[in-house]
């Protein structure tokens, strides 16, 4: 199978950005992000509503240009550590042809080829001083007429919520449904959480997740937890005091088996880092369209985990960690310039075990983001994908995505550990390894 790039151009806003909007200040959490792209690929069946691929591509480019007048920072470039120059340099837009049918590609999904559907290498950490496009798009045409839209989103400005808001706007314009536009708020994040110097912040707090800056040769595997498996995991994790969510039971189950795989050759302490979206916990105005990396880590220590550990115990540890992330906590971060130096923050960041060089498992949920609803005029996507292949990447990361069948877990680990996981009989009782996508 071959994937050939047939065109590459730059899409700029259809209307130049006004002088008063030329500089966007980043927020505290933006400047903490690695200079890396996170990927997303949306697969769509052949559409009969548009005449052909050239028609689809033309409408996507025109609507993208219009959407960039609303999400204008995406057409800019980072000008220094704390801001983006909204200079209308534009978004990279590529087209590619795929020499196979989508049905062949997805039964089962050819994970090792997914990165070729993306416009650049995802998740590679670039130096902070390297100036990169905020967004790159690659529209891939399969022989059957199906389309896969691959996006690489620079994490400096966008988190998954912000990316979803942009996609909803772009695709609403594309299909002529402007009432569905998700209007962005670019000011609230930076005004409420301005960047602060971290000079003097205790080293243990900054180093707790330092392994997340280390790139290893890692492989990504896709596992499906179907509705039946999730129901059974919930029944194993529920009692009068504990009524867990789908995310809590699936992530706890995965963390147990990842630790079993890793501990084959490592004895360092284990920490699970769960990325939490602050918006719902903060309430308005943050719950309505605020763009930025409004993310905070819930860190929990996972001690003495082995193949006999009960999932309900790990669920309770996770719930206790999540309970600490309240609106009052985030108001302290917002209102107290010294909070990052405080004992309370040090305790949340597990400063005490930093010297033991813990191994971090990083969990992110893309559930309820609306990615599986975005329709540019030919229906909802039949599948969402992340990335594949073996590349240098941050090890021990998990992204959970909602599907029609249940929850998909995209797990990235060093090859020797992912091999143990994918042959773990107890894990595979609940997790289906890369099943077919129903067309």
- Domains 3-192 and 203-433 fall in the same CATH topology: yes
Selecting among 85, 226, 313, 375, the annotated active-site residue is: 375
How long is the chain?
439
Most confident of 39-48, 319-328, 340-349: 319-328
pLDDT at 208 over 50: no
If pLDDT is split at 50, 70 and 90, which confidence band does 238 have? Answer: confident
pLDDT at 111 over 80: yes
* Tens digits of residue pLDDT in 56-75: 899 999 999 999 999 999 99
pLDDT at 207 over 50: no
Selecting among 30, 155, 159, 277, the annotated active-site residue is: 155
pLDDT (mean) for 123-134: 88
If pLDDT is split at 50, 70 and 90, which confidence band does 220 have? Answer: very high
Q: What dotted CATH number matches 3-192?
A: 3.30.559.10
* Tens digits of residue pLDDT in 261-300: 998 656 788 999 999 999 989 888 787 789 999 999 999 9
pLDDT value, residue 123: 81
Q: Between residues 336 and 198, which one has the greater pLDDT?
A: 336
pLDDT (mean) for 128-156: 94
pLDDT at 381 over 60: yes
pLDDT value, residue 101: 94
pLDDT (mean) for 67-93: 96
Tell the burial category of 19 from Cβ atoms under 10 Å away from its Cβ (0-12, 13-18, 19+).
Answer: exposed
**Domain ranges in the chain?**
3-192, 203-433
pLDDT (mean) for 326-331: 94
Among the ranges given (164-173, 236-245, 247-256, 406-415), the one the predictor scored with the smallest mean pLDDT:
236-245
If pLDDT is split at 50, 70 and 90, which confidence band does 243 have? Answer: confident
| Core vs surface per residue 78-99: b (16+ CB within 10 A) or e | beeebbbbbbbebbbbbbbebe
pLDDT (mean) for 214-243: 89
Tell the burial category of 196 from Cβ atoms under 10 Å away from its Cβ (0-12, 13-18, 19+).
Answer: middle
Beta bridge partners of 84: 24, 78
- Per cent of the chain over pLDDT 90 is 70
Among the ranges given (114-123, 212-221, 371-380), the one the predictor scored with the smallest mean pLDDT:
212-221
pLDDT (mean) for 250-263: 96
pLDDT (mean) for 91-113: 95
Per-residue three-class SS string for 349-383: CCHHHHHHCCEEEEEEECCCCCHHHCCCCCCCCCE
pLDDT (mean) for 15-31: 94
Residues 164, 34 contacting (CB under 8 angstroms): no
Q: What dotted CATH number matches 203-433?
A: 3.30.559.10
pLDDT value, residue 53: 72
Q: Is 155 a catalytic residue?
A: yes
Cα distances (angstroms) measured from residue 308 to each of 59, 223, 257, 312, 313? 55, 22, 10, 12, 11
Cβ contacts of 157 within 8 Å, gap of 6 or more: 24, 26, 30, 73, 74, 84, 134, 291, 292, 293
pLDDT value, residue 3: 93
pLDDT (mean) for 412-436: 96
Cα distances (angstroms) measured from residue 409 to each of 85, 130, 247, 272? 36, 31, 11, 16
pLDDT value, residue 193: 93
Cβ contacts of 388 within 8 Å, gap of 6 or more: 110, 111, 112, 113, 114, 115, 220
pLDDT at 10 over 50: yes
Q: Between residues 231 and 353, which one has the greater pLDDT?
A: 231
If pLDDT is split at 50, 70 and 90, which confidence band does 221 have? Answer: very high
Q: Is 313 a catalytic residue?
A: no
CB atoms closer than 10 angstroms to residue 389 = 16
Closest by CA to 43, choosing from 120, 144, 132, is: 144
pLDDT value, residue 204: 53
| Mean predicted lDDT score pLDDT of the chain | 90
Cβ contacts of 293 within 8 Å, gap of 6 or more: 27, 29, 30, 32, 33, 155, 156, 157, 158, 159, 162
Tokens 């079993």 sit at which residue? Answer: 260
Cβ contacts of 402 within 8 Å, gap of 6 or more: 366, 367, 368, 372, 408
pLDDT at 32 over 90: no
Instruction: Pull the structure tokens for residue 377.
Output: 């005029």
pLDDT at 197 over 80: no
Q: What are phi and psi of 157, to 5 degrees?
A: -115, -40
The CA distance from 29 to 157, in Å, is: 9
Instruction: Pull the structure tokens for residue 3.
Output: 């994937």
pLDDT value, residue 406: 96
pLDDT value, residue 209: 46
pLDDT (mean) for 367-389: 91
């Amino acid at each position: 199978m071959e994937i050939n790039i047939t065109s590459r151009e730059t899409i700029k806003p259809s209307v130049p950005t006004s002088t008063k909007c030329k500089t966007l200040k980043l927020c505290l959490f933006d400047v903490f992000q690695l200079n890396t792209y996170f990927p997303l690929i949306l697969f769509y069946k052949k559409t009969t509503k548009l005449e052909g691929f050239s028609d689809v591509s033309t409408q996507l480019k025109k609507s993208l240009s219009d959407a960039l007048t609303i999400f204008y920072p995406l057409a800019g470039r980072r000008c220094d550590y704390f801001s983006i120059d909204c200079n209308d340099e534009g978004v990279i837009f590529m087209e590619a042809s795929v020499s196979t049918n989508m049905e062949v590609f997805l039964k089962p999904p050819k994970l090792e080829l997914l990165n070729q559907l993306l416009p650049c290498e995802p998740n590679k950490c670039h130096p902070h001083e390297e100036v990169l496009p905020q967004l790159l798009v690659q529209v891939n045409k399969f022989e059957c007429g199906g389309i896969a839209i691959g996006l690489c989103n620079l994490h400096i400005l966008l988190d998954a919520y912000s990316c979803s808001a942009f996609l909803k706007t772009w695709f609403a314009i594309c299909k002529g449904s402007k009432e569905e536009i998700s209007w962005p708020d670019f000011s609230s994040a930076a005004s409420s959480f301005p960047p602060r110097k971290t000079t003097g912040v205790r080293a243990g707090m900054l180093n707790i997740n330092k392994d997340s800056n280390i790139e290893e040769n890692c492989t990504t595997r896709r596992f499906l937890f179907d509705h039946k498996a999730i129901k059974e995991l919930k029944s194993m994790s529920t009692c009068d005091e504990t009524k867990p969510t789908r995310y809590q039971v699936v992530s706890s189950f995965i963390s147990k088996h990842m630790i079993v795989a890793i501990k084959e050759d490592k004895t360092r302490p284990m920490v699970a880092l769960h990325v939490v979206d602050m918006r719902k916990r903060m309430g308005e105005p943050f719950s309505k369209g605020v763009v930025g990396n409004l993310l905070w880590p819930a860190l929990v220590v996972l001690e003495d985990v082995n193949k006999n550990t009960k999932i309900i115990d790990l669920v309770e540890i996770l719930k206790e960690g999540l309970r600490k992330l309240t609106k009052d906590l985030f108001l302290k971060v917002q209102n107290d310039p010294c909070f990052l130096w405080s004992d309370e923050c040090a305790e949340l960041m597990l400063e005490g075990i930093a010297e033991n060089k813990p191994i971090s498992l990083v969990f992110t949920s893309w559930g309820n983001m609306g990615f599986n609803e975005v329709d540019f005029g030919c229906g909802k996507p039949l599948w969402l994908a992340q990335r594949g292949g073996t590349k240098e990447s941050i090890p021990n990361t998990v992204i959970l995505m909602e599907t029609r069948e249940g929850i998909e877990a995209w797990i990235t680990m060093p090859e020797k550990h992912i091999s143990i996981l994918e042959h773990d009989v107890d894990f595979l009782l609940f997790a289906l390894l890369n099943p077919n996508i129903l067309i």
